[in-house]
Structure 1
Amino acid sequence: MPTTSFRDASRTAEYTPDVELRLLPWAGPGNKPCYLSSGAEHGLLADLACRIEGDQLDQADELLGHVERLLNRDGAKPDELQLLVRPLAAALRDVARVAVSRGERLPADRVHGALSPEPTSRWALTPDLFAGTQYTGECLDCGQRSSVSSSPKRVQEWALEHAEETGDRHFKAHTFQAFTAFPVNRPSPPTDGR
């Protein structure tokens, strides 16, 4: 099944300037994104979309709990883990679609996680949800760094491999988040008449 980037699809959707579209929590024919006019935000279809989004988030949370329990259990079999990959990928896709849909409907000054700009700033920052949290490891003995990874476990594996190769024993993990700048619609600051 072809994949669709919800972030890219939502940016290229055709619409009139006066109408904003809501990305719905399901795909249409050909796995294409479906949209609802923001003017219909309080109808039956909007209510159905909200309920489905809630169900998708609940199912993803339940699946995540199952995966964490399995990973924490001694003797988890590769077959058991492999069986979880498809539903985990589907849940991640659903959660990403919900995040994009909800994020696009927030007014710029209420974006969750946005760093508050200075009162005179016309720009604000928000965490880039699609980049996610990134990790890198650093050997404190020799200064060598691992490559950037979205997995903290991969950084730990690098540190163990590096320790085995070099005998170095002291490491640090760095965690960072990418941000996106966006314009904030603020009135111009008052002038003193000059």
Structure 2
Amino acid sequence: MRLLPWTGADGKACYLSTDDPGSLLSRLADDIEAAQLSSAEQVLAGARSVLHDPKAGERAVRFALTRTVESLGDVLRIAISRGGDNR
């Protein structure tokens, strides 16, 4: 069972049961994970920039933290999926 990088409409985890890593849904999940990891790298760079800017206001810091939390959630889901820890 593979934990997919998205949730269902009810917010619950979605899983894929297949022996074919080349299936359409498996490839879609791979592509989304790659996009999420790339986005996380960009978010991290942006958050670091905000944190290093002494003139950054509360609004900028809150925005950076909000995006960072979202990205961390995505990255943890990928790590759990790849590690097989499907809690």
Shared fold, TM over 0.5: yes
Matched length: 85
Q: Which structure carries more strand by proportion?
A: 1
- Offset of residue 44 of structure 1: 0.7
Q: Distance in 2 between matches of 1:83 and 1:23?
A: 28
- Offset of residue 25 of structure 1: 0.4
Q: Is the 8 A contact 2:3 2:15 kept in 1?
A: yes
Aligned to 2:42: 62
- Offset of residue 86 of structure 1: 2.2
Larger radius of gyration: 1
- Offset of residue 78 of structure 1: 1.3
Aligned to 2:17: 37
Q: Distance in 1 between matches of 2:2 and 2:13?
A: 10
Per-residue Cα deviation, 1:2-48 (whole angstroms, up to 9, x for no partner): xxxxxxxxxxxxxxxxxxx0000000121111111131322011001
Q: Secondary structure at the match of 1:24?
A: strand
Q: Gapped runs of 5+ residues in structure 1?
A: 1-20, 106-194
- Counting only pairs closer than 5 Å after superposition, residues 1-194 of structure 1 correspond to structure 2 as 21-104=1-84
Per-residue Cα deviation, 1:38-77 (whole angstroms, up to 9, x for no partner): 3132201100100000000000110000000111122221
Q: Gapped runs of 5+ residues in structure 2?
A: none
Q: Secondary structure at the match of 1:74?
A: coil
Question: Runs in 1 of length 4+ with deviation above 2 angstroms?
Answer: none
Question: What is the TM-score with the length of structure 1 in the denominator?
Answer: 0.42
- Offset of residue 83 of structure 1: 1.7
Q: Distance in 2 between matches of 1:81 and 1:64?
A: 12
Q: Distance in 2 between matches of 1:87 and 1:71?
A: 13
Q: Is the 8 A contact 2:2 2:15 kept in 1?
A: yes
Per-residue Cα deviation, 1:66-106 (whole angstroms, up to 9, x for no partner): 0001111222211110122322211111001000001118x
> Using CA pairs below 8 Å that are at least 6 residues apart, which structure has the higher relative contact order?
2
Instruction: Report % sequence identity.
Output: 36
Q: Secondary structure at the match of 2:19?
A: helix
